[in-house]
Amino acid sequence: MANQPAKKFRLGLITATIWDNDGFYSIDLSRSYRDDTGTWKNTTSFHHSDLLNLAKCSERAEAWIGRQVNDR
């Protein structure tokens, strides 16, 4: 079974996925899209129109990680 993320934040097509790596956290940022066949896929390439949601997801991830670190 694959490791599960500690937390996910999603705004529109943008997702911030937080991973707990034994004492530190890492974050993956991605954008969902549909390919030519209609299948949903993810990319780490962003459009100008994604930047606001990217910033908001990053901010939410940073705040969540800060709370986790303070609770330890």
**Helix/strand/coil for 23:** coil
pLDDT of residue 2: 62
Instruction: Give the global pTM.
Output: 0.88
pLDDT at 64 over 60: yes
Per-residue pLDDT of 13-52, as tens digits, reads: 999 999 999 889 999 999 999 999 999 999 999 999 999 9
CB 64 within 8 A of CB 7: yes
The arrangement of strands across the sheet holding 7-11 comes to: 7-11, 14-20, 25-34, 40-43
pLDDT level of residue 7 (50, 70, 90 thresholds):
very high
- Top-tier CATH class for 7-71: alpha beta
Enumerate the domain spans of the chain: 7-71
pLDDT at 1 over 80: no
